[in-house]
Amino acid sequence: MELNKLVDQIKIKKSFLCLGLDSDLSKIPQFLLKESDPIFSFNKALIDALSDLIVAVKINTAFYEVNGVEGWNSLKKTIEYINTKYPELFTIADAKRGDIGNTSDKYAKAFFEKLSFNSVTVSPYMGSDSVEPFLKYKNKYTILLGLTSNKGSNDFQSFPSKEDSLFKQVLKKSKLWKGSNNLMYVVGATKSEHLKEIRLIVPDSFLLIPGVGAQGGSLIDTFKNGANQNIGLLINSSRAIIYAGNGNDFLNKSISVAKTYQIEMDKLIKTL
């Protein structure tokens, strides 16, 4: 997908909401367990109900890998369903890959060619040769872990040096890699106070922002500090939306939460 199509969707839907499908068999509505593939049925229902409110879908692969072959089948059916019925939605494989070149090349082929995701999350820890195999794909995007929202992120990402914190050095170095125009970055909403300085380093890149809602991040602060002329933000919400309800009416409750986000996003977009 070309990025201008994602920008168009943001303008059309007046939303920069990303639906996180952290789909867990133990948490989905129990009546769906009678389905032949409960996870896919859950995902499909949510995507159909929310397609007018979201611009992206992030599939956290861990929630599928845990179920073995059946889980991968659910993942494959979900991404194929999105690509067939909602090709305008930007898809993210939240797989957090990153290894030596030959291994990364196989990961890239798996998610970009075999599964046809638009993007994949990648750890930068092993450096350029672990990321560049992902960056060689035209109109495919690598979402680099920049400054994450978890408590342990302070162990390394904020580690100071004579120059800058480690996460800033990662951002600066990544811009020198071959294919860096295909980079996006993960920045946790709970670290929104750093967004202005991050924007000085990567002013035009899209940022994937988890942590709004359940983790306590502020949508308003994130937008104020991180939006650019194309909005440049994908606000991910997983649990707050997909587990808003667990009965037969779960979709109505999910729609209500997503609509609340979308209304607030529309107001913020109008301030630009």
Active site residues: 96
d(CA 15, CA 268): 10
pLDDT at 159 over 60: no
Report pLDDT for 163.
Answer: 67
CATH superfamily assigned to domain 3-269 = Aldolase class I (3.20.20.70)
pLDDT exceeds cutoff 70 at 10:
yes
Q: How confident is the model at residue 211 (pLDDT cuts 50, 70, 90)?
A: confident
Distance in angstroms (rounded) separating the CA atoms of residues 234 and 6: 10
pLDDT tens digit sequence for 220-243: 999 999 999 999 999 999 999 999
Q: Which structure tokens are listed for 195?
A: 């967004």
Percent share of the chain, pLDDT over 90: 85
Q: Band of the pLDDT at 198, cuts 50, 70, 90?
A: very high
pLDDT of residue 114: 98
Cα separation, 175 vs 177, whole angstroms? 6
pTM, entire model? 0.95
pLDDT, tens digit (0-9, with 9 covering 90-100), for 30-80: 999 999 999 999 999 999 999 999 999 999 999 999 999 999 999 999 999
Residue 109 CA to residue 68 CA, distance in Å, equals 20
Q: Over the stretch 120-135, which tens digit does the pLDDT of each residue have? A: 999 999 999 999 999 9
Looking at residue 212, its pLDDT comes to 86
Structure confidence at residue 148 (pLDDT) = 72
Output the pLDDT for position 192: 80
